[in-house]
Amino acid sequence: MDTSKIAITAFSSISPLGNNSDEVWEKYLDKKHCFTKQFLDGQETYVASLDAYSKRIVDEIRESDIRYKFLDNSVLFALAASRKAVKDAGWKKEDIFGINIGSSRGATDLFEKHHREYLETGKAQTLASPTTTLGNISSWIAHDLQSSGPEISHSITCSTALHALLNGIAWLKSGMSDKFLVGGSEAPLTDFTIGQMRALKIYSRLNQDVDFWPNLASDFEKTQNTMILGEGAAICCLETGEKENAIAYITGVGFATEILEHNISISTEADCFQKSMKMALKDEDLETVDVIVMHAPGTIKGDLTELRAIEKVFGSSVPLLTTNKWKIGHTFGASGMLSLELALLMIQHNIFIETPFLKQKDINKPIIKVLVNAVGFGGNAVSILIEKA
């Protein structure tokens, strides 16, 4: 088994941008964000929810099986994306493949619903526990796809999806598997989750100054925090060796953790990002990296510290910088994989997608190599380098 290369043979997502890669790309080409206002946590709030077509897909899955009626959206999102990814990769039911799909918050809406009912009635629903456990997502994907390989779930805050990718690569490199389905799913648009983000004072506020661009991710001169939550799932099919149907190859991986001073702290120059990027780029000529898809959640400190880390690592040869959170918000555990989707699409179409705020030179250069960053509470960073197939 050739484990020298890791191929991405299919990718699928369901998000505010849709469920079809052509549609997702078209929406990336326009300059419109996906934010709407919903009444959450007692007031009107910016969020990025699934588009109408994607919601119909999720509803159809929910109604297709009596057991699916009781599942959280985080599971249903992952089901929709996983089905399409496996189909596009050409995997069959008899194929043995592993599954690692994580989530930062897991069954958020369902857990809050069950807890609220328990506080009101003093009784828990029969299925409250099995439908809200962390392993719920991968277990249901395995059931739905009838897979026979290992199934793993985890939560490593906002870098969850890229940690799933790291784990899938480890299994492939070990020779214990030659196919792995990896990704992340998140359905965090709930009162309590929004309330938690407001308590941290990082959520975007409704006011005339930011209505046109509610999330200023990668605007390094902003004077207020503008993070907004989004929902969705993104799934990637990984295989060992060179493949005719490879979309791209993973050529570098890196990871690191900060020494914490506070529960949500990150150092001024994001030491964890510096370490993860250096690990992913250890054998690379830095000038060959064309684009970095930043984590950049839209907070003042989060965006700036990542930029400082990039400048420390790349010096005078900083690549083109972009992010998707100005458009679809922060999807917590799914965000890293949705950033990988943007990277793959830019490589496939050879077009750089810039943000509305950051004007850069050489945006028409060929796109061969893209670095993707993610970091979560606790300072656990992941960097993934991908290269055109």
Q: Assign residue 153 the CATH number of its domain.
A: 3.40.47.10
- Average pLDDT of the residues in 85-97: 93
In a domain, 191, yes or no: yes
pLDDT in tens, 153-176: 999 999 999 999 999 999 999 999
**Bigger pLDDT: 379 vs 199:** 199
Q: Are 161 and 336 in contact (CB under 8 A)?
A: yes
Q: Are 180 and 91 in contact (CB under 8 A)?
A: no
The whole-number pLDDT of residue 134 equals 82
The whole-number pLDDT of residue 263 equals 46
235 and 264 share one domain: no
Count of H-run helices and E-run strands, the chain: 11, 12
pLDDT in tens, 256-304: 988 665 445 566 678 999 999 999 999 899 999 999 999 999 999 999 9
- The residue out of 240, 257, 273 marking a domain boundary is 240
3-state secondary structure of 64: helix
Q: Work out whether the CA dihedral 301, 303, 306, 311 comes out positive or negative.
A: negative
Residues sharing a CB contact under 8 Å with residue 44, sequence separation 6 or more, in sequence order: 37, 38, 206
Q: Looking at the predicted structure, is the pLDDT value of residue 78 above 70?
A: yes
Task: Report the share of the chain in percent with pLDDT over 70.
Answer: 96
172 and 318 share one domain: no
The whole-number pLDDT of residue 100 equals 98
Q: How far apart are CA 138 and CA 168, in angstroms?
A: 13
215 and 328 share one domain: no
Q: How far apart are CA 124 and CA 119, in angstroms?
A: 9
Joined tokens for residue 63: 């109604």
Q: Are 57 and 14 in contact (CB under 8 A)?
A: yes
In a domain, 89, yes or no: yes
107 and 254 share one domain: no
100 and 212 share one domain: yes
The whole-number pLDDT of residue 212 equals 79
101 and 195 share one domain: yes
Three-state SS sequence of 259-294: CCCCCCCCCCCCHHHHHHHHHHCCCCCHHHCCEEEC
| Parent domain of 183 | 6-240
380 and 323 share one domain: yes
pLDDT in tens, 339-379: 999 999 999 999 999 999 998 999 999 999 999 999 987 77
223 and 267 share one domain: no
Tell me, what amino acid is at 269? E
Q: Looking at the predicted structure, is the pLDDT value of residue 31 above 60?
A: yes
In a domain, 87, yes or no: yes
Joined tokens for residue 160: 């969850």
In a domain, 1, yes or no: no
Q: Looking at the predicted structure, is the pLDDT value of residue 207 above 90?
A: no
Q: Structurally, how many domains does the chain consist of?
A: 2
236 and 186 share one domain: yes
Lowest-pLDDT range of 14-28, 47-61, 200-214: 200-214
Q: What is the pTM of this model?
A: 0.96
Task: Report the share of the chain in percent with pLDDT over 90.
Answer: 88
Measured from the Cβ of residue 199, the count of other Cβ atoms closer than 10 Å reads 10
Q: Are 137 and 185 in contact (CB under 8 A)?
A: yes
Backbone angles phi, psi at 246, to 5 degrees: -65, 135
Lowest-pLDDT range of 21-30, 34-43, 194-203, 263-272: 263-272
